[in-house]
Amino acid sequence: MYKSKSKKGRIPLARLLSNLKSQKRLIYSAIICSTLNKFFDLAPPVLIGISVDVVVRKESSWLGSIGFNTVPDQLIALSIISFLIWTAESFFEYLYGLMWRNLAQKTQHYLRIKAYDHLQKLEMTFFESDNTGRLMTVLNDDINQLERFLDEGANKIIQLIITVFIVGGAMILLAPGIALLAFIPIPFILWGSIRFQKNLAPRYREVRDRAGDLASRLNNNLSGMLTIKSFATEDWELERLRLDSNLYQESNRKAIKLSAAFIPLIRFAILFAFLAILIAGGFQSWKGLMPVGTYSFLVFITQRLLWPLTTLGHILDDYQRSMASTNRVLDLIDTPIKIKTGKVKLDPFNVKGAITFNNIDFTYEGRSQVIKNFNLDISPGKKIGIVGATGSGKSTLIKLLLRLYKISKGSIEIDNNSIESLDLKSLRRCIALVSQETYLFQGTIEENISYGSQNIDKSKIKNAADIAEATEFINQLPQGLNTIVGERGQKLSGGQRQRIAIARAILKNAPILVLDEATASVDNETEAAIQRSLKKITTSCTTIVIAHRLSTVIDADEIIVLDKGKIIEKGTHHSLLKNRDFYYHLWKIQAGGNNT
Ligand SMILES: Nc1ncnc2c1ncn2[C@@H]1O[C@H](COP(=O)(O)OP(=O)(O)OP(=O)(O)O)[C@@H](O)[C@H]1O
């Protein structure tokens, strides 16, 4: 099962950066702007130091020594410098805000599209072993978390590092002895932060996993509302949701408990250094060993150095959450694609439609063998019926033909090309599938019929609807072809959905048509209509019809009877009846025992 397990040994930030190579310039520019903003932001304590120096030492102050001889001149110079510094600080704040947000937007867009694109290429086994709720959380919540971090968190980290370097450097230059006092708590803060980060990481991972489970439960329940209502299981479902929500709340509580304890502890370490400087610096200044201006600067700057470190907990917290999210998103992107596309591109209009199954063995993961040494040759333009008991492997054969799963042994060929050598899209373009579970997308009937056949003429859509005998009911709908079908086509009846699916397959105009129980859940009239439609279109293509209702395959050129993944009988309807075997008995049951 796909869980948030990151690639071993890879730092999430490094993984993220290697995915953002195209944004290198923007990242560097944003870092430079954050640095310059912090540089100017740290200037006020210097200005305070200089102004105290002016007031205390007057003409002999530092400004006096560089040419501003009178106090008024010095104050004017100080005002101009302050104005310029404030302007520069604001300007770079505007720039870094713009750049980090821009980067956040570009990153979220890029990762979402990349993750979704990759997701679509993954094989069906992946989707069966994961759940949609979890995948939705990765594609939405996790990417949004990362976006929030890039919006603000990244800048905070950079500015914190810059602060430590600039302030630390200035303190060492001005008063190395006192600077040491300010640095005493730093190793403790760092050690505490790293430990805290290590303990917090698994707790946040758990929070993300629980959020995924919760989303999955909600997603399942919203799609299964009809079943919930009809079985009157609302209370039971509410209870299950409450359990999942409690687990999410509990995992968050564990994370919060740890993260909340961090800041109060760090504050004490900072207080110690602050008091030490206040006292030691005060004594030196009192005794005339240090200028009052320098002392004022040190007192203010110590705050600027140490107080931001109290936010380290929050920053690491934010960092940790986003890196957990980054890992989940990148793990999805890095999930290996097991079914790789081949290179040979078939032109569907030139495909004759010959299909060969050669000694196929197939087993679903963790299950016993479904298809055993299966062989079948289908000549172009022929109609093949596949019948057999439930679970005998009929649909599986079609999934293998579409390369939705990897076969364990043997090969499948279309017009003598192994399907593994074929470009996946062109292989699937050659096969039109109508299955029992028709999936209609939210949109109009017209959009659903033309799904997969972009920019198609409206007259062709109408023609397909005509052949599928769907025109009559479409015309009775309020907006005709423009009627919205609702999510999963729930505003239409089962038979209407099925006719739209047939129209969609007709429009696809593929050389191979597969009907997998396409008429199983429709009434007799709809089945008859669908049969008439099929007669019109199957003359030009190879057709495989899977059916429980034997009347659907009665006119097939060959019918194969499948049992536990093996062919146990094959022939035409009449030859199979003569055999008086499995097919014969099945026919007798379905015909009410009269037809032999
Ligand atoms: N995705 C899957 N993962 C694991 N096992 C599966 C999967 N799909 C089908 N199976 C199993 O494979 C066997 C064959 O399934 P398949 O759907 O091919 O049968 P079928 O003959 O089409 O049945 P039916 O007539 O009921 O549609 C069944 O035992 C089924 O439980």
pLDDT for the residue numbered 339: 87
Query: Could you identify the atom of ligand 1 that is nearest to the CA of residue 565?
Result: 14
pLDDT tens digits for 370-417?
Answer: 999 999 999 998 999 999 888 889 999 999 999 999 888 899 999 989
pLDDT tens digits for 126-171?
Answer: 888 777 778 888 998 899 999 999 998 899 989 988 988 888 888 8
**Please, which pLDDT band fits residue 1 given cuts at 50, 70 and 90?**
very low
The residue nearest atom 5 of ligand 1, judged by CA position, is 364
Q: Is the CB of 364 under 6 A from ligand 1?
A: yes
User: Would you state the structure tokens that stand for residue 109, as one six-digit string?
Assistant: 């867009």
User: Would you state the structure tokens that stand for residue 383, as one six-digit string?
Assistant: 């109609």
Lowest-pLDDT range of 344-353, 503-512, 532-541: 532-541
Q: Stretch 578-582: mean pLDDT, rounded?
A: 85
Domain ranges of the chain: 12-333
What's the complex ipTM? 0.97
- Cβ-Cβ contacts under 8 Å for 162 (sequence gap 6 or more): 34, 35, 38, 39
pLDDT tens digits for 559-575?
Answer: 999 998 899 999 999 99
Is 90 exceeded by the pLDDT of residue 185?
A: no
pLDDT for the residue numbered 2: 43
* DSSP line for 528-546: HHHHHHHHHHTTSSEEEEE
**Please, which pLDDT band fits residue 5 given cuts at 50, 70 and 90?**
very low
Query: Could you identify the atom of ligand 1 that is nearest to the CA of residue 393?
Result: 18
What is the average pLDDT score of the chain?
85
Mutation to probe ligand 1, out of 364, 369, 401, 404 (largest number of atoms < 8 A from CB): 364
3-state secondary structure of 75: helix
pLDDT tens digits for 26-83?
Answer: 999 999 999 999 999 988 878 887 888 888 887 778 888 888 878 888 888 889 999 9
- Cβ-Cβ contacts under 8 Å for 366 (sequence gap 6 or more): none
Residue 13 has, within 13 A of its CA and on its CB side, a CA count of 9
How far is it, in rounded angstroms, from Cα 197 to Cα 12?
Answer: 14
pLDDT tens digits for 449-482?
Answer: 888 877 788 888 888 888 888 888 888 888 887 8
How far is it, in rounded angstroms, from Cα 527 to Cα 165?
Answer: 78
Q: Stretch 166-187: mean pLDDT, rounded?
A: 81
Query: Could you identify the atom of ligand 1 that is nearest to the CA of residue 562?
Result: 21
Q: Is the CB of 395 under 6 A from ligand 1?
A: yes
Is 80 exceeded by the pLDDT of residue 523?
A: no
CA of residue 191 to ligand 1 center, whole Å: 56
Q: Which residue has the tokens 């495909």?
A: 351
Q: Which residue has better confidence, 301 or 33?
A: 33
User: Would you state the structure tokens that stand for residue 271, as one six-digit string?
Assistant: 């207080």
Q: Is the CB of 293 under 6 A from ligand 1?
A: no
The closest alpha carbon to 266, from 196, 167, 178, belongs to: 196
Candidate ranges 127-136, 390-399, 434-443, 529-538; pick with highest mean pLDDT: 390-399
Q: Is the CB of 188 under 6 A from ligand 1?
A: no
Is 60 exceeded by the pLDDT of residue 7?
A: no
The residue nearest atom 9 of ligand 1, judged by CA position, is 396
pLDDT for the residue numbered 555: 86
Q: Look up the CATH superfamily of 12-333.
A: ABC transporter type 1, transmembrane domain (1.20.1560.10)
Lowest-pLDDT range of 307-316, 468-477, 580-589: 307-316
- Over pLDDT 90: what percentage of the chain? 27
